[in-house]
Structure 1
């Protein structure tokens, strides 16, 4: 697979039109605030820091067209390593280390022996923060 065909790389796995094509991504940021009680007054809010960002990627696989039926298995194998994985986009931008938190798949248009014509998937990743 040519490097310019890669949409995203998660560890050793490559998302592309020929494997698992990404349809959309959503990155969420959250921030922690603590409400500190104050005698005879409303609490005061104090910023305590950012949370780890979360990334949700949705995509589609057409196993008879390209990529085959093993794409989700390959993603699960990456996740099952139990290690943070490097996430890099197709432009070479390093998104840092992430952990796979959830993979879900849906098989559509089932054919002979239950083989799907289309597989949609969602992967939830969370930023990994290296302990100091």
Structure 2
């Protein structure tokens, strides 16, 4: 197993993940200054995003069921736990999009090669309330 997102395992076969793209950083509020460059004030971490590039070969190895499972999970909006192949728990993530591009279509219209892109964003632990969130609910 390379990764597992919710109930879907990314492996060499049938759902082959061959590339990941990870992005994270900080968010800053810009402040105008007279006669100088705009200052930036750190306001917290920015969204952490991860994109998986996958390739499936339905006629030889399958993988359509895993693709459909990811599409269902994306539409549900439910956070999914992400675990790396070495057993590291990477936290909770929502699926922003699942895109696929089929090439070399067979007689039934199914691609012999399907390139899949899965974009996910890290979210807090489901049900965990922050102090600020609790205060806003008290007064809001």
TM-score range, shorter chain: 0.7 to 0.9
Listed as ranges, the gaps of 5+ residues in structure 2 are 131-140
User: Which whole-Å CA distance do the structure 2 matches of 1:113 and 1:87 have between them?
Assistant: 34
Partner of residue 47, structure 2: 52
Count of aligned residue pairs for this structure pair: 126
Structure with greater proportional strand content: 1
Gaps of 5+ in 1: 1-5
1:118 corresponds to which of 113, 118, 124: 113
TM-score, length-normalised on structure 1?
0.87
Q: 2:3 aligns with which of 4, 8, 11?
A: 8
**CA distance in structure 1 between the aligned counterparts of 2:12 and 2:30, rounded to whole angstroms:** 47
Task: Tell me if structure 1 keeps the 8 A contact 2:8–2:66.
Answer: no
- Structure with greater helix percent: 2
* Distance (whole Å) between structure 1 residues aligned to residue 77 and residue 51 of structure 2: 18
Normalising by structure 2, what TM-score?
A: 0.82
Query: How far apart are 1:31 and its partner, in Å?
Result: 1.5
